[in-house]
Structure 1
């Protein structure tokens, strides 16, 4: 588990309030405290059958509460995961770019590397990305 998730896709950008909130929520939801909160929620709900007018209302209370929590957490966790994926992809692209450059320099001495460099460039779309900079 990563303790410090990527802060932004380029590292130079500041995170928005929503992104910071999503990061904090992601950290909190991945800890034991969140699980304890969920267990306490269910344990609080179970005896509420004594004060609610019907079983249907009793079930509706837990269904509504858990659906709302799930819906909001999915949105927040997806934000964090998307930023993490983008940061990892950026690092992989930089490594592939550096490797392709290194292979290009060595291809004078080892001509067979040129074919591998071309395969690498095609696989990760280096020329397309370089042209879009």
Structure 2
């Protein structure tokens, strides 16, 4: 639930958030495209094409690997926050529905309340 969420992030989480903000900008993508465009003709400057290809492949693979890990961290935290909000909304809705069902004595509304309350936290049981 949202009240269980702490506003304090670890150093890694703060770093991952800043990295995600940094790499998600249009200028960062443009800089990457420019880097590739500058890199492509630079092969002509080096005699050993295999070595140059190995260097650029290694560097881009390492950067990609690290960025995936950082972005996955921020995505996981975002998903958890959204799920907490949905759970809070479902809990509040079930309380309101329960109150309405008591006033109007509706059995189908009581059943909907039971199903809604059972769905709160379901993501923890069904996730891999």
The total of aligned residue pairs comes to 119
CA distance in 1, matches of 2:111, 2:118: 11
CA distance in 1, matches of 2:98, 2:29: 52
What TM-score does the superposition give when structure 1 sets the normalisation length? 0.78
In the other structure, the counterpart of 1:80 is: 74
Per-residue deviation at 1:75?
A: 0.4
Give unmatched runs, 5+ long, in structure 2.
123-128
Q: In structure 1, the residue corresponding to 2:8 is in which secondary structure?
A: coil
Q: In structure 2, the residue corresponding to 1:69 is in which secondary structure?
A: helix
CA distance in 1, matches of 2:53, 2:23: 24
What TM-score does the superposition give when structure 2 sets the normalisation length? 0.80
**Structural RMSD (CA):** 2.2
CA distance in 2, matches of 1:58, 1:10: 51
In the other structure, the counterpart of 2:125 is: none
- Tell me, yes or no, if structure 1 residue 49 matches structure 2 residue 43: yes
Matches within 5 A, 1:58-73: 58-73=52-67
Deviations 1:1-30 (A, max 9, x none): xxxxxxx99453311111111111111111
Give unmatched runs, 5+ long, in structure 1.
1-7, 127-133
- Which is helix-richer, 1 or 2? 2
Q: In structure 2, the residue corresponding to 1:15 is in which secondary structure?
A: coil
Q: Could you list the runs of 4 or more consecutive aligned residues of structure 1 that deviate by over 6 angstroms after TM superposition? A: none
8 Å contact kept, 1:9–1:83: no
Q: In structure 1, the residue corresponding to 2:9 is in which secondary structure?
A: coil
Deviations 1:75-125 (A, max 9, x none): 000000000000000000000011111111122123431011112123335
CA distance in 2, matches of 1:10, 1:76: 24
CA distance in 1, matches of 2:109, 2:63: 53
